[in-house]
A and B are shown apart, each in its own frame.
Chain A
């Protein structure tokens, strides 16, 4: 691949709400001049998919380098940087953006701006990006480019008069996008002769190559055989391979300032590669690291337990495999009296939690119970110690606590006017503080400060239902605030069930306690013995329900014949109990945990 001077490199990301056409546009850009022919493309894509299946690991989306002969007669190197789709990965998104100088803001011309778009746009603005608005789907009869342009100006404050109007689907005006990249985005800056400084953008595990690291070179150059150093960890590695994605992995001699590419260096796990870290040369290190590095910190925790205790080992292995590829997810062994052996797992957010849970069940075929997600509280003890609380059942006795803090988020919600009232009520019920409310046509954008704790309790579901699915929601972590928090324990026949305990704001505690008791009453079938369900704060019972003993359960006719069949029925009943958890003489079905943990008000 011929070397292109830095003035003719353009690094860019695409910002879009889901379904607005980001993938379709990316597909359109890739097979353009210089990259793969359509034929190569298909076989390449197929190869990749087969590989994915074969290795059982999802190969992460990466970057694509393409060469574009522009109208000015020169050839440009365009690097498209893929960004993770969801706010839970806000930090990862910010590092991807930090590797680029500009973004395409793709908006569906028939839909308009959504909340998710906004959060990403603000991040791009924070990253000093030049942003090029692109109105997609203008082939649709419902497209209203003028309205959407206006919206972009009103809501985001971007000049949209030069927005590029395209149809990614039909291929209309893709050229316009490429020209805009060349003429409107600035080239990267960098010093070829300075010590190496490369941004670690992402890393993933490949069964054949080991860990692959995606880098953006800021200064200096990166070559095969070089001994590199991770500046945050101090660890060193020898570079095995240097290359770019075109989109297939293509080995190159070196990566130069402004360029994006990958390296491999016989690294065993992604946990050794912190996103946002600076890679330098061990022999000739940079004086200081690139700004903005943050170790990833889980904000939501929950316990994951195998439904069948025999699956514990499988769970352990599966978590290990996932962690190979996702260093942002944390896990530590934990035991629960109620649920047995499992893991307390930390996630970047709720979606991240759902993704991991989903992968565990789908890819690893694990049947799991997840305890109620809990945010990380800060406990200030009387003696001045400050500690983080990941698991409600570890909360110390209130007499030892001076005060507690809980995390707040800044949430952006966009919703059609008709549902605004219901959405505001929901936010207010969840202790939200309104920070901003603006209208764009018949859509409202509400910005709220909300305790994260209130969001992990089924906020998405409620939001969806009160807005009939029309609201979009996005958030960023904001700060910790002192709060009046209590732990609610759930007792079954007087014994606390650790997996059901949770922390709540004092004002919501009684209602939640009552609601969970009522729910359990509905979910736990009548049994041989009477069951008392209580919710308590400390020693004080705040809610109580009783499930009476079942009055009759007997086979009327049973003589002779097929005793084996009756025994097998009994064995099946026993097998069914594996899906129950025993509390003294009471059995609680898994389904009750699941549903009670997913509680609503």
Chain B
């Protein structure tokens, strides 16, 4: 059987207590939400830390009010929140098709946003990684996907919720030793080669907050993979728009699961503001999106195919926003 490695488990009761615990652990720790991502990696012996700080007992992180969702809210809780789903309908299907009911029961929002990037070379047992050869991201010198890369990992960002929050215009609230800060989620992810977001290691994701006017956006999340349950996205597209008749007043796009972070396509989207959302525009946006991504072979399906599917999913998302009958 797979054995969970040993670590010290801390259970702080408040955000400040957790932050203090993190500081005391001097970087050699991980926060724990539901553990559905972290503990899998631990069982595989990937980047195991001596201290694990569980955030499950912090009431503040479980708060859910009117567009603000605490980082510790489980996906199942969110899925059962009819008010939230009414206000932000793009989450309904996204949540219902995320991982599996069992995982949603345990997995949390913050854990989902901060889910580790995935790669066919990495998400393996220690035995398999030893046999295949270790890679840059854990215990090895070089990336296996992009040969020769010794400073950057190309593993796939595979969280489903962040892109939807992004196109709805959410902000993220972080708490750390320096106190709290709030920033747009679209500015949260950043490719700096090593880290993939601007969160400091000892900062806690307290909540995601949706602005009031997000309720008037029309959004869609189109996720592509070979099985409807369990499977992480092979690629996905999130889109949100405000339409005046069929004229685009506001447009936000994210290409997801084709790079190490969800790709915020703000410039591309802005270029279409003012255009009519007709078939020609949809085709043009889909083509632009396809051109804008360059997935690598870190997942099951061939990268060239995933690239082309970004266009197809973009078109689907836009057609759904336009009000076309959606394919189930």
Q: Do A and B come from one complex?
A: no
Contacts from B to A (Cβ < 8 Å): none
Chain A positions near chain B (C-beta within 8 angstroms): none
